[in-house]
Structure 1
Amino acid sequence: MTGSNSTGSTLEALIGIDLQEFLQIVAGGHYKVARAANPSGLISLAEFDELISGPSAFSGSDMRLIKDGTPLAGDRYTVAGSSAQIDGAKVIAAISHGYTLVANRLHQVNRKCGSFARKLAEELHCPVAINAYLTPAGSQGLSPHYDHHDVFVIQIEGSKVWNISPPVIPAPTMRESWRYLSDSQAAEIESQAVNPTAITLSAGDVLYLPRGWMHSASAQEGHSFHLTISVDPVTRKDVLIHVMDILAAQDDWFRRESSLFRMGSDQEILDEISTALTKVVDGASEISAPSLVEVVQESAANGLGIDGPKMAVTALGIATPSNISSVRRRAGLRWSTTSLDDERVAVQVPGAKLVLPQAALPSVTLLLSGREVTRREAAEALGDEAVADQLIAAFLQAGALEPMNT
């Protein structure tokens, strides 16, 4: 997991430590318990209830009801004849019988959660997702398991006892995900997870749990409402895959069929692998490190899906600079500039190319810097408020900027 230094970061607000201290914890594979400054700042139980009670932003595939590791069949909590539409009365009945409600992709249906996830993802350069768990008193939802991603648990209401054990499989990836294990494999791993540590999380507590740690949690005397923020780290394997993609785009040798299955001896197979590795090493030495970092970061951002609900006013062209006080570059956006001549510069963003005066470049650089920028700042950089507003409107229309408030 990597990141960039910042002060007053989202990470510090979440767990109370700066990036460098956090990376040391990650490198050591340790867990950490901290206090959140505002545990219900992302979403309160009342807000969550409002979100799932009306015409729901969640479909049947986004929600689960589970008790002691056994999921409730979908037709037990969806409208008859529609696997996508949630039946509120059935959900309430299931919770009253001890089932935990799991709501996935909260970062995509709640704007505050989406904004928080985006900022954390930008700091850590990793895909981030947020799920919610509502558990009735004295109940347990999931059985003991591990995750293939790191997790921050924020206890919003109530309390839960977490039993955690160090990894049996170090640093599991998606291929080693718990869901892909056979029953016998899962039982074997669970049997090796000995001497668990019991941690009680109360409202306001945050638990950081590295991937691979076995864990289970149960609510205590009252109900429990918590969020899990999953962070999917970019591994060395991921970087090598990107290296291979770059090399394959440059050299058709990598795109041609391998003769591996037509080889008769072990030595021929080893020679084929040796040739491939040599070409990878030679080719990788020619790749620009900044370019590789940019490609990996873009891939991570594309996996986020955490921009949150797009404002309808923007989609309709109503969100003009006159009713927007500040804007921000969309997460993961790639952009570039090309000088056309002494007077003009082309700005390329996905799906659009804007030709602007060279004098607009400082304002463009500011607007696409990744931080929140006010209209006034953009106008000062350009020296013309009306032209700056036109520039903001053009970038909004192209989807390069998002309004931070209207």
Structure 2
Amino acid sequence: MKHALTFEITDRLEGTLARAGIIHTPHGAIETPAFIVGGTKATVKAITPEQIKEYGGQAVLANTYHLMLRPGTAIIKQAGGLSKFMNWNGPTFTDSGGFQVFSLGVAYKKGIDAVAHTERGDAAKAVKSSDQLVKITERGAHFRSHYDGQKLLMTPESSMELQHEIGADIHMAFDECPAPLAPPYYLVEALERTHAWAERCLTRHQELNKEHEKNGEPLQALYGVVQGARDEKPRKQSAAFLGARDFDGYGIGGVFETSEIPTVVKWVDETLPDDKPRHLLGMGAQPADLFLGVEYGVDTFDCVAPTRQARNGALYTYDGRINIINTRYKTDFAPIDGECDCYTCLHYTRAYINHLFKSDEILGATLASIHNERFVVRTVDQIRQSLKDKTFFELKKRFLHRYYGDTPPVGVIVE
């Protein structure tokens, strides 16, 4: 069976894992490295699809867990797939819903990052957090909807079926993302389960693609998701195991600090096949992550931080992040950033946006979100061009020095 996507590498940066390339999908090409805009519920919060295209967004990533609950994947399929449903005519991704099953499903609004653990041998037993419930078995994940408490089951096979109904160009295999502080024995169990589930995902995905091919429908791609926590041996083991399977590309799962990208991501990308695309799932909220991710071999990455932070008044500028709600901006009639070319910066002032936030006006979230998303997309565009021009390290030094000054994130060296 032919593959649903092709990937070509056009430029490399000597002495690093960085490369520029193009991912070709049924809904268009993605020039890499690329920031994939987070559209969790088939929408980028406070922004229209037309605005996403206007500020340079190339692709959108939606979440299977949320879409299976609302509006339901059958409705999205009936609408003609994710792109038509949300009026976005570019490439689309879906993650499997695994992280949300193991975090939101258990600990929604409880301040818990992922599945809690107790004694050895209890990994397959119910883990309760107030009225929430998850139970992990070899079959899949039993959990409750955080909307109405309905009992649900997600298996590798059902995750594939849901994602194929959503109809994105690129899917993620259903994996287990264990809690960062899970005991070592459980990390081993979770990794073995992730690998077994990946093979089941691949089998079902290929069956569904045969149906698409028979019906004359576009094929859909599947990425295997590498896990292994923060340890070198399991990370490389996971990358080698999945890299030997016929996936179209690979996701890098887990929860990373900025300082861990040069180690954990490097271990993975040095091990994965060189000729297939790599996606860093839910990268951190630091602009430094963009540079480090690319330097250590990431082709695409997604994050909801730009719009989430924007809705709270935290705005990126080339001289660092600002809080637009601060009183100092009440009479500041300059744009958010004088070097930014976004719609917001070209038409509105800090004083006006400060007023919108102080008045709790919805427009404030929209204007702030447009700016933050454009800032990140534009930065990655500049990084991609710097790989072609061989000026990556000059751009990295200049950008990080301006953005962080004397207080870069832990582990980031600004020369």
TM-score by length of 2: 0.23
Higher Cα Rg: structure 1 or 2?
Answer: 1
